[in-house]
Chains A and B, each alone.
Chain A
Amino acid sequence: MSDTNELLMVKGVVKRFGGFTALDGVDLNLKAGERLGLIGPNGSGKSTLVNCICGTLFNDEGSVKFEGHEISREPAHKRIRRGLARSFQLPKPFSSMSVAENLCVPILYAANARPGAHHATPAQAYEQAMEILKKVGLAHKGHEMSGGLTQVDMRKLELARAIAAKPKLLISDEAMAGLSNSEVDEILELLFLMKEQGIAVIMIEHIMRAVMRFSERVAVLVAGRKIADGDPEAVMRNPEVERAYLGE
């Protein structure tokens, strides 16, 4: 397969924190529009990998390519302008802004900052924000302050803010942790919405029901190494994966 088909190419990424190696030569590829589930026990390096892909951390070794461009030394704000968006595990709303104003930030700074993009005024950005909120079912809370949202709405805001950047790849970092069953379904619906728009998604999740329903492919990280990558059913039957999750 030629490189040009790949949206994201992570190769041999190593990240150390002092003497501890959090990522030990991880490879990961993703095609445009693909849906990947990334799983692994706590502390296996999932979030560190996300941080290295999105630019909130710099990898020590290896390369990260997005649409063929080496991006591993670019700051995070440049990467999201390329179309690489993420949501945070612990929601980080801009709490002094309303819900709609939260979305204006990526609209003005990411979606509009791309070469050739149409530059919207703050007022136009606000309208676009309300459009996106309608899609994710938060339109009625557009004027509310984001600090006062419920947990599930906070997660939706995280995702909506990522969508507002008009990404090609969205990395959802445990957007469902701690939510009830029906709330998990609401978030899943949102992620399926991405698929309709042709956005590739990497879903990091512990809730296996959601992972199996959503993913076309599943990759497993254990102790900073990728031990399996492929068809979800096949990966689940992999004895190494079973051992990592259930012990010997």
Chain B
Amino acid sequence: MHKKMSNKLFIPLVLGVAVLFALLSVAVPNDYFFSAAYTVLLFIILSTAWNILGGYTGYVNFGTAAFFAMGAYSTVVLYKLTPGMPLLLKIVIGTVVAGLVGLGTGALTLRLRGVFFSIATLALSVVVFTFVVNWDYVGGARGAYVIAPRDVPFGFKRYIHFLYVVMVFLSATAVIIARAIETSTIGRGLEAIRDDELAAECCGVPTLRLKLLSTTLSGALMGMAGTTYPYFVSYVEPASTFNLSYAVNSIAMPLIGGMTTWVGPLLGAVLLGTVQQVVQVTISSAWNLLIVGVLLVLFVTLAPEGLMGLWYGWRKKWKEKGGAK
């Protein structure tokens, strides 16, 4: 067994990296950097969240957009109710709302296995979409404006800088949670469920409870990613909030990075997210989903365990070579 870094060391390390990235908000003069970085960070959270259920537990969720939108629209509602509420509080509430929806979805659908579960999550997305389109208070199909306050908190120069720093720390939170699960007894139980649910239950794993925990956490983190989105776009409408790209990217990124560890979704989101941002500027945003699709096909056929799988494979070969000498 590989010696793993303890969480006592890992958490300060991740937070340290987050602080370094946060400091960029002072150093980088180009505002475009922040909107590009916001999107990449958004995908880090979404793919890390997706991977808790999809990668660790083996339940493929097509409903990322529903949970993401749940977070976004919870902010819209709170903005309408009390515009002055601090963003941090909005984030917490949106996260809890999405987590509860995750718990409910889990309770309703986890008796389904494999592709049937996936179809149910797809249906959830449609249900939530229809609900939002017909809910006048949040603007229905027209959408709603969410205007960032003129006074940027904590003395940031512009609101996007503040949002960027918030997203850096939310991403760090998501990664820390994912890794804590992965290295804990819970992670071992989820892995057992993914490999063989019946055998897991017969080894003492409370499969239903762990699956509910997994859907709740995964949903909550996806919602968390959505809570700041209305301030980022300032105009929220269903078609873009429920965009297919959220579901596709949050599946593609862990798949390309590797689904068994926290590194995979992080790596996949950084690589794929950056490529998409570059393509958007240099060629056209219309290419984004095409690139994701092509990469997805390539990885599924050539490297089904993703970049991390390739890396472990190479390292193993390298070691064997070394041992033979």
Chain A residues near B202 (CB, 8 Å)? 54-56, 76-77, 80, 85-86, 88
- The verdict on A109 contacting B191 (CB below 8 Å), with A56-B198, A92-B196, A96-B260 known, is no
| Contact of A113 with B203 in the complex, beta carbons under 8 Å | no
| Contact of B1 with A105 in the complex, beta carbons under 8 Å | no
Name B183's closest neighbour in chain A (CB-CB): A122
Chain A residues near B200 (CB, 8 Å)? 94, 105
| Contact of B1 with A92 in the complex, beta carbons under 8 Å | no
| Contact of A104 with B204 in the complex, beta carbons under 8 Å | no
- The verdict on A94 contacting B204 (CB below 8 Å), with A108-B185, A126-B1 known, is no
Count A-side interface residues using an 8 Å CB cutoff.
34
Q: Tell me which of A110, A123, A143 contacts B204 (CB under 8 A).
A: A110
- The verdict on A97 contacting B206 (CB below 8 Å), with A56-B201, A77-B201, A108-B185 known, is no
Chain B residues near A21 (CB, 8 Å)? none
Complex Cα spacing A98 to B191, Å: 12
B89 adjacent to chain A (CB < 8 Å): no
Q: Tell me which of B199, B207, B260 contacts A94 (CB under 8 A).
A: B199
A161 adjacent to chain B (CB < 8 Å): yes
What is the 8 Å Cβ interface bit string for chain A, positions 80-123, against chain B (1 contact, 0 not)? 11000110100011111110110011101111010000000011
Chain B residues near A161 (CB, 8 Å)? 203
Binding site for B on A (CB under 8 A): 54-56, 75-77, 80-81, 85-86, 88, 92-98, 100-101, 104-106, 108-111, 113, 122-123, 126, 143, 161, 165
A94-B200, A122-B183, A122-B185 known; 13 new pairs, CB 8 Å cut-off, are: A55-B202, A77-B201, A77-B203, A80-B202, A80-B204, A94-B195, A95-B196, A101-B1, A108-B185, A109-B204, A110-B203, A123-B1, A165-B204
Binding site for A on B (CB under 8 A): 1, 183-185, 188-189, 191-192, 194-196, 198-208, 260
